[in-house]
Structure 1
Amino acid sequence: MTDQAVTAGGVRRFFGRQRELKALGADIERTGLDTLAGRKAPRARVLLIAGRPGSGRTALAEELVAALGERYPDGVYRARLTEPGGDPVPTARAARGLLQDLGVDEPPGAAEDELTGLVRDALADRRTVLVLDDAVDAEQVDPLIPDNPEALVVAVARGPLTGIPDVRPCTLGGIDPKSAIEMLTTYTGSVRVTVDPQAAETLAEECGGQPAALVLAGGWLAARPKASVADLAKRLRALPGDPLTRAFRLVHESLPAPAARTLRLLCLAPLGRADAHTASALAGCSVSAAATTLTDFVALGLVREGDGGQYEVPAHLVPLLRAELEERDRTAEVQLARARMLERTVRLLQSCRAVTEPEGSAARRNLAGLPRALRFPNVPAAAEWLESRRPVLLASARLAVADGDLDTLARRLVAALVRALAAHRGAEAAAPDLYGLHRLVLDVAERRGLHRERAAALLNLADLDARTGRTREALARYRAALDAGRAANDPYAIGRAMESVGGSYQELGDWQRAGDWYGRALAQRLARDERADQARLYARLGAVHTYAGRYGEALRNWRAAAAGYRRQADLPGYARALSEAARVQEYAGRPQDSLRTCEEAVEWARRAQDVRLQAALQLRLADTLDRLGDPAAARLHRSAAERLLGTDSSAYEIRSAPLED
């Protein structure tokens, strides 16, 4: 925990550390090395709070930030740089979290340098405080420091951050005895401390003045009103280890066996966060029993209560819980608990998505068959659950894939999460998350030799690369997807990959290669008699031949596309293909033919009742008539287009671009 304790009314109080707060405040005002050298400070001032986990580092940082108040009016932003289990958080992931808090759109699949650059840009003109909690080293912190001397960075770490200039650590030990006793009193009440003040001092000493140990000791005493402070101090003295380890073991061993097992299993929860569903799945008990157990853990100082029914295991307890889990629980039982947790998450995600489906659909019928605890009452409730647990769900997917022994569950979890995010947030807004999830699918597919899944993941990743302008990266992935599709003998993946390779070359302006790959894709569609795809590919071939100035080939392909659309009774597609054929005829110096083809396209657009398309085609027709020297007829067609749309006709020009899928 921290230098804070939670009173009976739920109010957090801070104890001690006044000397440290004063020193940190003075550090903010201290003249930096750049100023002494006559240079303007190029970056934000960095304050470092160093100490062991459980020493109250984060609480001191938050108390400092609260005390700064109006000096930094543009807000406080936070990023945690170490996972609860001790693994460093990749800087790119920390940057993504900050960008979301800052309201900055993140390009899907962006590299670490680009993401950290976006963070620094967003903070470049803001008077903000950036709290970087539990940093491992300077390499994590340095890329996130704003290039803004008006901002402040408060870093929390175990020790010095060598490599960041002009930083002096504020190193924490235990809090003073008076503050430690005050902290214990918030749990025990004043009577037990007043009747034996010497025992209270001894207990504070046994806890080493460490706030985390004091919280556990206070919770143990609060649960046992008849126990004396002296008795607890004696029990702690008899246990081996450092103060935090002794306090944890005392509390853990005092729990009933089912509760102790649930507590140990909580270290499996992603990001150390669990709700009643997670605890229920891990322990194999009912949701109501899990909720009661979690509430009891809060009173004992073993977990912290968060928003939306979520609970967090303090990071400094996770290594202790893992050690107990390895010692007391069999590996097969732990793996089964992990599998139950992932399966529960999959079912919740399926329910979260199903609630967005229309009434009477198969998904809604399946939803009605789920237990009430797994159902969401409406779409807003499901969306709120998904958004509040999004970081935990993404962490669940990462942990499931990293496990290696639960790949089937991992694939189901990722698929369910992809569908839920797309349903509630939309594919565009969810794209950064989807990029990471598709990479996880790719990891599993490559590990298991699943060629079909590998092809699908590569295609999805390449699509996101292409959408964000990384065309060459997309091209490489499309080619890899083609190889995977061939290995899986998957006609859909093969055709899709070949067409997408052609699209990438088209985006790069390599018309020859684009036409070649579109031709290969078309040959496959012709062999399989896939007529809708044939028409689209004829249109794409017509577009690249038009760009390349090969008007004869372009016209043949546009006419083939038009014939294909007409066979499918796709009247708007037929009209568009005729319009593009008319454009090619005009480029080829055949204005009369272009005029007749364009008039035919207008008529088919009218039959299709596509008002926007009809108006755009009439504008095309007007331009052709102007070039043929008939301005009066051109004016009539422009007036007709304006009547159809009732707005500025210049906004409705048809561009000679490939038809969208």
Structure 2
Amino acid sequence: MTDQAVQPAGTQDPSRSPHGDAPHSAGAPQEAHDGGHFTGRESELAQMRADMEKAGLHTLSGRPSPHSRVLLVAGRPGSGRTALAEAFVREAAGHYGDGVLRARLTEPGDTPVPTERTARELLAALGPDPVPAGADEDELTEALRAELGRRRVLLLLDDVTLPEQVLDLLPDTRDCLVVAVASGPLTGVPDVRPCTLGGLGRDAAVSLLAAWAGAPHRTTVDPRSAELVAEACGHLPAALVLAGGWLAARPKLSVAEAAEQLGKARGSDPLERAFGLVAGSLTRTPARVLRMLALAPEGLVDAHTASSLANCPVTAARQILDEFLRLGLLRNSTLAQGCYAVPRCLDPLLRAQLAEHEGPEETVLARARMLERTVRRLRACHAVTEPEGSEARKRVAFLPRAVRFGSRREAREWLEARRPAILAAARLAVAEGGGRLDGLARRLISALARAFDAHRSPEEAAPELYRLHELVLDVAERAGLQRERAAALLNLGDLDARSGRHPRALTRYRAALDAAREEEESGRGGGGSRGARDDRGARDDRGGAHGGRGGQDPAAAARALESIGSTYEDMGDAERAADWYGRALAHHQTRDARAAAARLHGRLGAVHTGAGGYGEALRQWRAAAANFRRLGDAGAHARALAEIARVHELAGRPQETVRCCHQALQVLQDEGGGQAEDERLRAALLLRLADACDRTGDVREGRRHRQAADDLLNSHDLTVGLE
């Protein structure tokens, strides 16, 4: 397996950046690309190589640990700790034939990533088997450890906040290796080999500064001033990059003057001083764009995101982001072309700037603009999969060309590249205090669910859809929107049932039934209109979960009733299944929903057939056939008659089987459809008719029907089987 980058919280595939991230390429000096900032880290790299080979204390004592060894790179943000870890990973990857997995364990804002999310992303990266939707943390971590126990994998865990994060993911095998990046020690994690980073050595720090300053002679002609700049930066790679980028933007400024200005910069922290020097030199619009980057989900930003956040033209945002790249404030993202990533070491500084210069209302408004743009982009992502002339295509035709997609492949690539950031945007919108972004959150989730439905298989999309429906449920419960609450519970129940968690599915369906009944009662007095006006998402959201198992997605109460019956049927409890199907049938009959009632008669007939209650099964199938006949649905009418024939066959009444098969064949003949499904049903009926004729002693007639079935199957290249 080749190297894989896992993105549970925005982790990129970092290569060789002074921040520990992917290399700069647009306007950054070539020396930085070539790894000049690693000068002075050779001893740490050698230490890690030795620790990989060295026997641990448990092994020396004769009690080897059953867990993987952990190499810890400890250092403050901005020290180049991730860059060192990545350099080691590139060297060591050849020893681990199943590849490299990466996960970042802290979100922007220093929030630890939930372990279940990390485990789910790692499992998804490991293999083709889909991750069970709705699985809890214990299930996922156990499955992950079991999967890693069969492999030789190098696991890089970046931005570790707590030792428990590593312990939960630690493989139960010595064939894997874990490289953890953290600010301090990981107390309680067994067999840890720490490598602690401080600042770079003097020569290495000056070399990195010169690489980013744009002209090496600026430091060589005044080496003492260059050393003073490096000292003011604390020899930290991230601070040196910012100072170098600031110098490169001022070719006429001497290094001595730079040292003087850096010494006067506010802040006791070297990185804070270097950042303040760069940020303080920006004009009004770039300064606003910079602090608004703190709102970019997962720190991933492009020109359109920056434009919507700062409310400035896209062309201006693009130029500003390019300038930030040259200044060392951003890096190129390896996730998507045209995207940039905010170095995590700068995140707290950006948030402090945001809090100082922007009020809460403007922050919410900026997020709303960004979410609105993301919704439009997701709708275009879905629309490109629809036929020409469809309603979805017509709606997005009015969007700007930059928002639309030229092909299905382009749309899918965009969706996959930005998936972590969009999911983070949904979580942040739901978490916004006071529910001020609830409407946009529901619209975003609905649009994302539709995009997943269009570009991913149901199995592939199910785990993330499960979390999206949980977010919808959170919003609906907080806002008292019973219709949306019922829809979310139904979708979650469907995913639980599909994963075989039937008791949990029943709990969801019963809660949905209560919510639907409450909505119906309040709707009689006009109280249910708020959800209808305020959220186009919850109803659309049901499509994102691939609909209910009822097929026609009836009203929520009826769908809940039918889903409870279906779950009991899956559990093999025919009595309870028939009871709940009967309640759903009564619900449809009171509303004169004839098609749904006909279908429910069929489901009841199937349950009674499976339970051996042939009398009741015949009654239900006959009711279904009569309803389909009145509705003019000849195909469904014929299939119901075929089921009646099957029940007679199971009950040992071959003459009745012959009669019902002839009736069904006559209906198909009168319909004259000729579709593959009709022809397959016709062949099945002929085979059942042949068997029934054999049982009545009319062997010649049976042979004739069997030959007709064979001819039909051969002429249409069909296969058919009888239950």
Normalised TM-score (structure 1): 0.95
Contact 1:82 1:134 in 2 (8 A): yes
- In the alignment, what sits opposite 2:502? 471
For each residue in 1:285-332, what CA deviation from the matched residue of structure 2 results, as whole angstroms up to 9, or x when unmatched? Answer: 111111111000000100111231111111111111111111111222
Give the letter for the 1:583 counterpart.
Answer: R
Q: Could you say which residue in structure 1 is the equivalent of 2:138? A: 113
> Structure 2: how far apart are the matches of 1:204 and 1:593?
96
Question: What residue in structure 2 maps to residue 450 of structure 1?
Answer: 481
Q: Is the 8 A contact 2:680 2:718 kept in 1?
A: no
1:406 alignment counterpart? 437
- In structure 1, the residue matched to 2:83 is 59
In structure 2, do the counterparts of structure 1 residues 605 and 42 end up closer, same or farther at CA, with 3 Å as the change threshold?
farther
> Quick one: higher RCO (CA 8 Å, sep 6+), 1 or 2?
2
Q: 1: distance between equivalents of 2:119 and 2:510?
A: 31
Residue 608 of structure 1, CA deviation:
4.4
- Select which of 325, 328, 345 maps to 1:301: 328
- SS of 2:72's partner is strand
Cα separation, partners in 2 of 1:579 and 1:304, compared to 1, 3 Å: same
Q: Secondary structure at the match of 2:337?
A: helix
Query: Is 1:332 equivalent to 2:370 in the alignment?
Result: no
- Report the 3-state secondary structure (helix = DSSP H, G, I; strand = E; otherwise coil) of the residue aligned with 1:134: strand
Separation in 2, partners of 1:221, 1:138: 40
What is aligned with 1:237? Answer: 263
Tell which deviates more after alignment, 29-38 or 642-651.
642-651
Q: Which amino acid aligns with 1:273?
A: L
Q: Are 1:431 and 2:462 an aligned pair?
A: yes
AA matched with 2:509: Y
How far is 1:132 from its partner?
A: 0.6
The residue that corresponds to 1:560 in the other structure is: 623
Which of 6, 17, 20 does residue 44 from structure 2 map onto? 20
Give the superposition deviation at 1:647.
9.9
Q: Are residue 260 (structure 1) and residue 260 (structure 2) matched?
A: no
Counterpart for residue 31 of structure 1: 55
- Whether 2:713 is the aligned partner of 1:645: answer yes
Letter of the 1:387 partner, please give it.
Answer: E
CA distance in structure 1 between the aligned counterparts of 2:461 and 2:85, rounded to whole angstroms: 32
290-299 or 602-611, which moves further after superposition? 602-611
Answering whether residue 401 of structure 2 is matched by residue 372 of structure 1, we say yes
CA distance in 1, matches of 2:717, 2:384: 42
Shift of 1:365: 2.3
1:404-463 Cα distance to aligned partner (Å, 9 max, x none): 311111111111111122122244432222111111111110000000011111111111
Structure 1 window deviating more from structure 2 (584-593 vs 634-643): it is: 634-643
Deviation at 1:366, TM superposition (A): 2.3
Contact 1:475 1:504 in 2 (8 A): yes
Structure 2 partner of 1:285 = 312
Residues 229, 258 of structure 2: 8 Å contact kept: yes
Q: Deviations over 1:125-175 (max 9, x none)?
A: 332211111111122112322233222111111112222211122111111
TM-superposed deviation, 1:395:
1.0
SS state of the match for residue 110, structure 2? coil
- Kept in 2, the 8 Å contact 1:216–1:251? The answer is yes
- Give the Cα separation in 2 of the matches to 1:602 and 1:146: 61
Counterpart residue number, 2:608: 545
User: Greater CA deviation, 444-453 or 469-478?
Assistant: 469-478
Answering whether residue 664 of structure 2 is matched by residue 601 of structure 1, we say: yes
Distance in 2 separating the partners of 1:476 and 1:635 = 52
Distance 1:363 1:651 in 2: 37
2:682 is the alignment partner of 1:614: yes
Could you tell me how far apart the structure 2 residues matched to 1:224 and 1:169 are?
40
Aligned length: 655
Q: Secondary structure at the match of 2:199?
A: coil
Maintained 8 Å contact 1:84/1:314: no
Partner AA of 1:617 in structure 2: L
8 Å CA contact 2:93, 2:99 repeated in 1: no
Cα RMSD, aligned residues only: 2.2
8 Å contact from structure 2 (residues 286, 320) kept in 1: yes
Provide the residue aligned with 1:659 in structure 2. Answer: none
Cα 1:124–1:635, aligned 2, differ >3 Å: closer, same or farther? Answer: farther
Superposition map of 1:73-472 within 5 A: 73-104=97-128, 105-188=130-213, 189-238=215-264, 239-306=266-333, 307-403=336-432, 404-472=435-503
TM-score in terms of structure 2 length: 0.87
Q: Which runs of 5+ in 1 are unaligned?
A: 656-661
| Separation in structure 2 between the aligned mates of residue 393 and residue 41 of structure 1, nearest angstrom | 40
| Contact persistence 1:43–1:148 (CA under 8 A) | yes
Shift of 1:628: 4.4
Greater mean alpha carbon deviation, residues 58-67 or residues 600-609: 600-609
CA pair 647-2 structure 1, distance change in 2 beyond 3 A: farther
Identity of aligned residues (%): 58
Between 1:477-486 and 1:430-439, the stretch displaced more is: 430-439
Secondary structure of 2:102 counterpart? strand
CA apart distance, 1:197: 1.0
Where 2:181 maps in the other structure, the secondary structure is: strand
Q: Shift in Å at residue 648 of structure 1?
A: 13
